[in-house]
Homo-oligomer: A and B are copies of this chain.
Amino acid sequence: MARTTGSDGGRTEAAIREAAISLIARYGYEAVSMRQLAAEVGVQAAALYRYFPTKEDLLFTLMREHMEGLLAAWDAARLATADPRARLAAFVRNHIRFHVERRHSTHVSNMELRSLSRDNLTQILRLRTSYEKELRQILRDGAEAGVFVIDDVGLTAIAIIQMITGVIVWFRPDERLSVEEVAETYLSMTMRLTGAEMPREVQHVHAHA
């Protein structure tokens, strides 16, 4: 046999990405074989190499697109206001929403960094750093304005990101809590953590329509 009826490169590539994210999130990059991935897609292993030159390149592509998507989402959700509390609220809400909606690719991006080559790793870390820098700037502005109580901006930024990313460990989409409820709970923890009194108007400014 050879080309199958109804085959379409675009659809196959999308199916590969989707299957790869879900399989790698569940079993880990090293534990997923190209044959296993191909079987999930419904093709032979050799067909994968039409779309991605190597297994690592596939992983790198998934991670890069995840990080670029996160930065793009934040660019769309960020507020023009100068109030650090409103900006922090927008950051937390965007982060929670994005990660809850992409649990699998978040898992991949957080857990499989060590499977990247040096150059690819550097690129992903650069994206991650520029995202964290956004939060550090908010915290620094808030600390200088006196609305936040922060010992160490860098350490607090890492702690907050660690905390709010942890939502993907336990959150399942079909549970008692909605994404909005979870986001609000994490937001109030974040606000207390930064020593911010949360004013009424911030509580109702949602980053997403």
Contact = CB atoms under 8 A, between A and B. Distances in A.
Interface in A20-40: 26-28, 30-31
Interface residues of A, number: 31
A31 B117 CA distance: 13
A158 B32 CA distance: 29
A149 B192 contact: yes
B158 A114 contact: no
A188 B163 CA distance: 15
Chain A at the B interface: SS class? helix
A36 to B, nearest CB: 13
A80 interface: no
A69 interface: no
Given A151-B185, A151-B189, A192-B192, 10 more contacts: A26-B114, A30-B31, A149-B192, A155-B182, A158-B169, A159-B163, A159-B166, A162-B165, A189-B193, A192-B193
Interface of A: 26-28, 30-31, 111, 114-115, 149, 151-152, 155-156, 158-160, 162-163, 165-166, 169-170, 182, 185-186, 188-189, 192-195
